[in-house]
Amino acid sequence: MKRIGVLTSGGDAPGMNACVRAVVRSGLSAGLEVYGIRRGYSGLIDGDMEPLSARDVGGIIQRGGTFLQTARSAEFMTVEGRKQAVRRLNDRLIDGLVIIGGNGSLAGAYELHKMGVAVVGVPGSIDNDVPFTDMSIGVDTALNTMVHIIDMIKDTASSHQRCFLVQVMGRHHGYLALIGGIISGAEVTVIPEKEIPLEQIASAVDDAYIRGKTHAIIVVAEGARFSAQEIADYLTKTSPGFEVRVTVLGHVQRGGSPTAFDRLLATRMGMRAVQALLAGEHGTMTGLRGNRIELVPLEQVVQSTPSLDLTNYDIATMLAR
Ligand code: F6P
């Protein structure tokens, strides 16, 4: 193996830059040429790539987003798009590829693997919905951002005796909301994996009011059955205690400088991905299992559905007294 490529795909996640840096510098140290491919699979199909030097990835470890840019490519979903991507790799004599992204991107990596490309995936997504890794790159930063903002919301909520509904990202997965709810001390957490009727939410809020709480925080996952606004409309009608307000965090959770945890995770995974390519262990994904970075076959990753540890839901409920 002489020349490898690296790309970031799907929703950006803090720490992707740190991972690209690790891929480039560990690749160069091993005597490889490393090509940076811009705009994910879209850039791969267009042949938008160039060699990266150690200096090109200087000063990026602390930056959020991805300097290679990213995309959700509709063209790559087609057979013709994927064939074109493989042709581009062959034209440039790129014989190994590191793909950093979430579930959709890793499914794309598996397709390339089946077409004979030596590929290693790295889980990068704030949602923490990639199977076979305890954490994906970006999750820790997103949680820190979320908890920082909810702390600020609590200040104003307590001052006005208000109930705030805070809607957080996570697509169809409740991880960010659930863990965010525990670490911010939320009164109620609403996630897709555990349906909870509006009446039950209202009674938890009423209880909190009666018990003398100065505020109530409800963290709502964007994929939950009811949106934060729908819950707020219901509470406004049924719960006379707290005044109700809604904050939708949105893409603010995807930005910002990566935490120490994310920088280290991204660095370790990027280096492991290059080692895996060199050792011929491709068709795999780097996964954090305990404190070890292990390789998992991409086939297993794409065939599994993300699961959520619901004992955390019981913990969140028990501690919201
Ligand atoms: O997958 C990351 C994520 O931020 C999800 O939490 C969210 O549902 C989605 O991406 C938003 O996608 P977009 O940036 O395309 O609006």
We report the CATH number of the domain holding residue 93 as 3.40.50.450
**Whether residue 232 sits in one domain with residue 187:** yes
Cβ–Cβ < 8 Å for 283, 299: yes
Cβ–Cβ < 8 Å for 130, 173: no
Across 223-247, b (16+ Cβ under 10 Å) vs e yields: bbebbbeebbebbeeebebbebbbb
| Ligand 1 in reach of 283 Cβ (< 6 A) | no
**Ligand 1 centroid, distance to 70 Cα (angstroms):** 12
Segment 28-36 mean pLDDT: 98
**Whether residue 64 sits in one domain with residue 78:** yes
**Whether residue 16 sits in one domain with residue 115:** yes
Q: Is residue 149 predicted with pLDDT exceeding 90?
A: yes
Cα–Cα distances (Å) from 304 to 64, 103, 220, in that order, read 29, 10, 25
Within-domain flag for 73: yes
**Ligand 1 centroid, distance to 171 Cα (angstroms):** 6
**Is 127 designated active site?**
yes
**Whether residue 182 sits in one domain with residue 236:** yes
Q: Is residue 165 predicted with pLDDT exceeding 90?
A: yes
pLDDT at 168: 98
Query: What is the number of domains present in the chain?
Result: 2
Q: Is 42 helix (H, G, I), strand (E, B) or coil?
A: helix
**Whether residue 211 sits in one domain with residue 164:** yes
Segment 303-317 mean pLDDT: 94
Within-domain flag for 307: no
pLDDT at 321: 83
Q: Domain residues for 237?
A: 140-254
**Whether residue 128 sits in one domain with residue 7:** yes
Within-domain flag for 310: no
**Whether residue 264 sits in one domain with residue 129:** yes
| Ligand 1 in reach of 126 Cβ (< 6 A) | yes
Within-domain flag for 311: no
Cβ–Cβ < 8 Å for 126, 253: yes
12, 127, 129, 140: which is the annotated catalytic residue? 127
The residue among 158, 170, 167, 239 whose CA lies nearest residue 198 is 239
Within-domain flag for 106: yes
Round the average pLDDT of the chain to a whole number and report it.
97
| Predicted TM-score (pTM) of this structure | 0.97
**Whether residue 45 sits in one domain with residue 130:** yes
Within-domain flag for 120: yes
**Whether residue 270 sits in one domain with residue 249:** no
- pLDDT tens string 78-133: 999 999 999 999 999 999 999 999 999 999 999 999 999 999 999 999 999 999 99
pLDDT band for position 240 (cuts 50, 70, 90): very high
**Whether residue 103 sits in one domain with residue 172:** no
Q: What is the CATH number of the domain that holds 235?
A: 3.40.50.460
pLDDT at 108: 98
**Whether residue 264 sits in one domain with residue 183:** no
Nearest atom (ligand 1) to Cα of 170: 6
The more confident residue out of 306 and 202 is 202
* CA pseudo-torsion sign 134, 4, 76, 61: positive
- pLDDT tens string 179-222: 999 999 999 999 999 999 999 999 999 999 999 999 999 999 99
Q: What are phi and psi of 287, to 5 degrees?
A: -130, 140
**Whether residue 157 sits in one domain with residue 31:** no
Tell me the percentage of the chain whose pLDDT exceeds 70.
Answer: 100
- pLDDT tens string 243-293: 999 999 999 999 999 999 999 999 999 999 999 999 999 999 999 999 999
